[in-house]
Amino acid sequence: MKKIIFTWTMALLASANYAQPRLPQNYYWEKMPNGLEVVAIENSKVPLATIQIAVKNGAFTEGPEYSGLSHLFEHMFFKANKDYPDQAKFLERTEELGAFWDGTTREERVNYFFTFDKDSLDAGLRFMNAAIRFPIYREEDMKKERPVVDGEFQRQESNPFAQLYFEGQKKLWGDLVTRKNPIGIHEVINTATPEKMMIIKNKYYFPNNSILVICGDIKHEDAFAKAESIFGSWESSGFDPQVKFPIPEFTPLTSTQYFVKESTIAQTPFEMFWWQGPDTRHDSASTIAADVFFTILKMNSSKWQQALVDKGLTSAADAEYQTLKYVGPVFLFFIPNPGKLKECNDEILNQVKQWGNDDYFTDAQLEDAKQIMRRNAIRQKEKPSELPDDVTYNWCSTSLDYFTDYQSNCQKITRDDIKRFVNRYITGKPYVAGMIINPAMNKKFNASADFKPAL
């Protein structure tokens, strides 16, 4: 007994030496001896509690032979485990808890959450513990779930925008495209086995590769105590999964590529442009500058909107950057006027060429964009059950310090920061451009001939 007490004490002392991240007011953090990070968020607006657990898993961990299996694994989470040996009993328990529940799979995160009455916190944590640590993968359950996951894929394929997006991803990421495609590959999904589910679990589903967030009408001391009591026996892997199973670096684009995809379901043409942008490992400053700059572009007063939308060249001219740890993409989306395709495409390239100019936006527009982002952040905090999602996404793809400092750092972005981002990742850099259009419209407007790089 003395040896056990000594070991546990030493583990607690070791956990106290972990670097304490910066967190917003009413956010609290602890790292358990097994490596599980726990964040408690006190928010008493409604008498509810939300628990979310996230794992550094997803498309970025998947080669072709496993493409989409992190997503299937997420679906299987809500099936059977040692406490609830079939889905009927699992669902019955969610009803007893009055729980709203779901999960998502992204490029760098798989997460699961339950929201229920605050008095069910202990029961809810035990329910989550059974599902995350002790799943049961039965062939009959997988036989039912494979078509469900594949059906999501098929529904996406019936959307012309998704068809265009998937085709562009192949060209943007090359041989590593599966590591940017959470939905997966039909053949892999439809032939998945319980053995492959266990391979994923034994690679990534460990406390030292996970974060637990407890949010709502709670007290953080109580939340931490419950988490320690329930999840404390979850054994660490003893290794860092991202070190043992390293993520390959994405190959930079070497040339600009254009493509046109014909599809009868494209009732109107869609266009997308992609660049390989910054990531949070190497250039976190540019990830924030990108967010501010694209907020400027979305403003009705921007040159971007005025040149493309106001002049009737396209009914939508969206620009986005996705913050990721492993190369975040920049992508533009357009619904061009079919009768003005050449003019639209010429103007898109003309505008992108001007992005690095000193006069492309005003100081007032820069300040307005920062205030838009500040107000949006305030509104996002109005729903306590959604607060854990921000924490877990950033824990997987940025850091908790990045999350906490994000808004203040947005307010510090300067014109030079934006120019640096544009010049480093956009101006003169190779990109991928794609159009999807139905065959009749393509023939009528000679769209393929006009969709090409500027000379």
pLDDT bucket at 2, cuts 50 / 70 / 90: very low
Cβ 380 vs Cβ 389: under 8 Å: no
Which of left, alpha, beta for 202 (phi over 0: left; psi -120 to 50: alpha)? alpha
pLDDT bucket at 455, cuts 50 / 70 / 90: low
User: Residue 18 has what pLDDT?
Assistant: 64
Dihedral through CA 416, CA 419, CA 424, CA 429, nearest 10?
-170
User: Residue 284 has what pLDDT?
Assistant: 98
> Above 70 in pLDDT, residue 17?
no
Cβ 326 vs Cβ 178: under 8 Å: no
User: Residue 19 has what pLDDT?
Assistant: 81
User: Residue 9 has what pLDDT?
Assistant: 36
> Above 50 in pLDDT, residue 155?
yes
pLDDT in tens, 274-324: 999 999 999 999 999 999 999 999 999 999 999 999 999 999 999 999 999
**Residue 40 in 3-state DSSP?**
strand
CA distance 312 to 452: 20
pLDDT in tens, 406-423: 999 999 999 999 999 999
- Average pLDDT over the chain, rounded to whole? 93
CA distance 270 to 337: 10
CA distance 420 to 406: 19
pTM as predicted: 0.92
Cβ 332 vs Cβ 348: under 8 Å: yes
Domains of the chain by range and CATH?
Answer: 21-244 (3.30.830.10), 257-450 (3.30.830.10)
Strand 257-262 versus strand 432-437 pairing type: parallel
pLDDT bucket at 156, cuts 50 / 70 / 90: confident
In order, the DSSP letters of 162-221 are HHHHHHHHHHHHGGGGGGG-TT--HHHHHT--HHHHHHHHHHH-SGGGEEEEEEES--HH
- The percentage of the chain sitting over the pLDDT mark of 70, rounded to a whole number, equals 96
pLDDT in tens, 222-235: 999 999 999 999 99
Cβ 200 vs Cβ 105: under 8 Å: no
Residue 113's closest CA among 85, 94, 88, 96? 94
User: Residue 448 has what pLDDT?
Assistant: 86
User: Residue 7 has what pLDDT?
Assistant: 37
CA distance 388 to 39: 9
pLDDT in tens, 360-374: 999 999 999 999 999
> Above 60 in pLDDT, residue 107?
yes
pLDDT in tens, 180-214: 999 999 899 989 999 999 999 999 999 999 999 99
Radius of gyration of the chain, Cα coordinates, nearest whole angstrom:
24
Cβ 355 vs Cβ 427: under 8 Å: yes
H or E segment at 169? helix 160-173
CA 101 to the chain's CA centroid = 18
CA distance 249 to 142: 32
Burial of 172 (0-12, 13-18, 19+ CB in 10 A): buried
pLDDT in tens, 373-394: 999 999 999 999 999 999 999 9
pLDDT in tens, 58-102: 999 999 999 999 999 999 999 999 999 988 999 999 999 999 999
pLDDT in tens, 34-57: 999 999 999 999 999 999 999 999
User: Residue 148 has what pLDDT?
Assistant: 84
Strand runs (DSSP E) across 301-428, as ranges? Answer: 314-321, 329-336
The stretch 252-261 carries a mean pLDDT of 96
Residues 6+ apart with CB under 8 A from 130: 81, 82, 83, 84
H or E segment at 98? none
What order of strands is seen across the sheet that includes strand 110-117?
27-31, 37-42, 210-216, 48-55, 110-117, 100-105
User: Residue 6 has what pLDDT?
Assistant: 34
> Above 70 in pLDDT, residue 141?
yes
